[in-house]
Amino acid sequence: MQAFKCERCGAPLNVSPETIVAICPYCGFPNHISGSLSTERIYIAPSLAKDDIYRAFMKRVEGDIDLRGLKDEIQVVEIEGHYVPYWTGSVYLTGEVRYMKRETECHTVTDSQGNTREECHTVERHYHEFIDRTLHLMGSARRQVTDFGISDMIKHYKKRPPKIEPLKELDEDRWQRIKLEILNTEMDEKQARMLMKEDAVDVVREEYKAKSDRIEYFRCKAEEPENMKLVLLPMWVVYYRYGNSIFKVAFSGWDGRDVAATEPMTTLRRAMYVGGVLVGILIGGIGAAGISSGAALIPLVAGAGIAYYSGSRVLAGTRIER
């Protein structure tokens, strides 16, 4: 097998037949290996240091009413940081929809005695709308979107986006200060574009499904995604021991916010949990259905609530406890 070397510093690179981009562990330079990918499109959100994450974890323990009482019995076992690759892009959509919605119509009627009453009945209303909008989408560039915390990071990104920098412009010193292991990108730009277009149309269709009783006509065309970026987001997982079990909390590495957690349950929580199990199974089922439909990119939409809603529905199934 051919030995790959970093284009910038000459260090040997770890490359497998699946590698799309090999980011040099020594200098941080992105080396294009295979598939469609322009390394100019790779961005990084620099991570906080391990100590910052440890402090964020302790703050979380102090601030959590259930965990605070267990503080002395909690022992941090490991703190692990990675950069996780995500694809982002914007998709412009045009189209046309006709749908029917049942609505209740009421009016006041006066009978022969002069008494008035309210009379209501259901009517089928028909709507005709045109689609003309842009969706911003984001999804994991890995095949296993169900990995702990990976989907939760997207929700957090939407709320508190980090400052990102082009990876190619990062110098070696800066890389040394912010470096973490980088999880492999398993989806190249071509695949990501294809998925994004499909998902954008799905998002719109679901939105109309949710607000109508019957879709009578649906035509929606997605243009080639624009502003494609492969963004490396830092994610940390703190593993801790409580009793005989290991639990974990995922933190976003750019601002130290906790994004997902598995947690020891106290008696009260346990009682609440039993009550919530049915709902949990239902949400889990919906989530699984969403995920099995392929490595779906999860919509990250500015200004389109429904699209975000359908994304968080997918997330709900991967969430362990929050």
Phi, psi for residue 138 in degrees, rounded to 5: -145, 140
Kindly list the distances between the CA atom of residue 77 and the CA atoms of 55, 91, 131, 238, 242, in Å, as whole numbers in the listed order: 14, 43, 51, 8, 10
| Euclidean distance between CA atoms 251 and 235, whole angstroms | 6
Rounded-to-integer distance, Cα 266 and Cα 268, Å: 6
| Cα 25 from Cα 13, distance rounded (Å) | 8
Is residue 6 near Zn ion by the rule CB under 5 A? yes
Q: Is 9 among the residues that bind Zn ion (CB under 5 A)?
A: yes
**167 touching Zn ion, by CB under 5 A:** no
Which CB, 9 or 210, lies closer to Zn ion?
A: 9
Residue 6 Cβ vs Zn ion, minimum distance, rounded to whole Å: 3
- For the bound state, the minimum distance from the C-beta of residue 170 to Zn ion, rounded and expressed in Å, comes to 11
Cβ 183 to Zn ion, closest distance in Å?
18
* 103, two tokens: 């609505």
Q: How far is the CB of 7 from Zn ion (least distance, A)?
A: 7
Least separation in angstroms between CB 21 and Zn ion: 13
In this chain, which of 8, 32, 98, 229 binds Zn ion, going by CB under 5 A? 8
Q: How far is CA 108 from the centre of its chain?
A: 49
Give yes or no for a contact between 226 and 89, defined as CB atoms under 8 angstroms apart: yes
b/e map 28-64, b = 16+ CB within 10 Å = bbbbbbebebebebbbbbbbbeeeebbebbeebbeee
- By rule CB under 5 A, what string of x and - marks binding of each residue 12-51 to Zn ion? ------------x-xx-x----------------------
Shortest CB 8 distance to Zn ion, Å: 5
Q: Which CB sits closer to Zn ion, 29 or 157? A: 29
Stretch that binds Zn ion, among 3-11, 244-252, 256-264, 306-314 (CB under 5 A): 3-11
# binding residues, Zn ion (CB under 5 A): 8
Where does this chain touch Zn ion (CB under 5 A) — which range of 10-18, 35-43, 220-228, 280-288? Answer: 10-18
> For residue 314, how far is the Cα from the chain centroid?
9
Comparing CA positions, the residue from 277, 290, 278, 295 lying closest to residue 316 is 290
Which residues make up the interface to Zn ion (CB under 5 A)? 6, 8-9, 11, 24, 26-27, 29
